Structure 1
Amino acid sequence: MRTEDVLAQIDRALTDCTVSPDAMRCRPAEEPPAAAPPRPVAVPTAGREFLVRRLVDRHGLTRAAALRAVLAAERGTSTEHAEAVQAEVRALAGEMMQRLRDAFRPLVASWAAAMQRLVDAAQHLQATASKGQPVRRRPDRPAWQSPYGPPLKRR
């Protein structure tokens, strides 16, 4: 087959507007998958029990009344003890935030010290560069020390 024949076939294929029967296949629309059945919601019972104990200890409620008040607060309904529940939740949140602050304080202090050392090094570098003085070698390293190891011995 000659090159001209191949080019002629390509030209005919580009201008051919007919469609073969198998090019028009269609399929009925697929139905969307059925929704998954709802799963029961896991309720944090340990947190609820902790809040109930705090209400009993600090506000003098009975265990049943405290549990009803906490469950009503979870549903968003108002009860006679709603203010006590909100106060205990605020107090718990405050205590947890204080514990987090106490836990992160040493970490932040070490970050601040590291950042201060970085600022000092940058200022020293800027002062050295502005004076035009060469950077001195560190006295704790040999002159030949480099990332590539010691220099090769010459013969």
Structure 2
Amino acid sequence: MTPEQASARAALMLIGRLVRLRGLTVEEAVTAVAQRRRRETGPHTDLVIAEAHAVMAEALAPVRAMLEAFRPMAQAATAAMAELARAMRPVAQQATAARRDRPAWATPYGPPPRRRAKHTPRTMPR
């Protein structure tokens, strides 16, 4: 579905809802939706906005219910992660202290290997 098709479908849905739920005639509903799409104000554009909000609220109701159901789990996970972070803090401090026993430029692997010049055997002059 293209964006234009989706927009047309949404307009038709809003028109139907305005006729069915708000008592507008088809002509009034079409005019109000067209005015709102052109960002104009008319006698019924506030109803278009209200219906659009109602449609979104109906569509998002299941998502809100799911988020509310997950809220206790998210709070428990947050508490568990905070407790884990508190438990790991001393270990991290020890690891940081252990790294300070050598200069910052030194690595635990020693100096980098030196490059060896490749020796090519000399050939005898002819």
Shorter chain as denominator, the TM-score bin is 0.5 to 0.7
Q: Which residue of 2 aligns with 1:67?
A: 30
In the superposition, the TM-score normalised over structure 2's length comes to 0.54
Q: Which residue of 1 aligns with 2:83?
A: 120
Percent identity of paired positions between Structure 1 and Structure 2: 24
Q: 1:107 Cα deviation (Å)?
A: 4.0
- Summarize deviations over 1:8-60 as a string: whole Å, max 9, x none: xxxxxxxxxxxxxxxxxxxxxxxxxxxxxxxxx72511211111111111111
Give 1 or 2 for the bigger CA radius of gyration.
Answer: 1
Question: What is the alpha-carbon root mean square deviation over aligned residues?
Answer: 2.7
- The letter for the 2-side match of 1:90 is H
Query: 1:76, 1:53 → 2: CA distance?
Result: 20
Q: Which residue of 2 aligns with 1:80?
A: 43
Q: Which residue of 2 aligns with 1:42?
A: 4
Q: Which residue of 1 aligns with 2:107?
A: none
1:16-55 superposed matches below 5 A: 42=4, 44-55=7-18
- 5+ residue gaps, structure 2, are 92-126
Query: 1:77, 1:122 → 2: CA distance?
Result: 55
Question: When you count helix as a share of all residues, which structure comes out higher?
Answer: 2
- 5+ residue gaps, structure 1, are 1-40, 130-155
Query: 1:88, 1:118 → 2: CA distance?
Result: 42
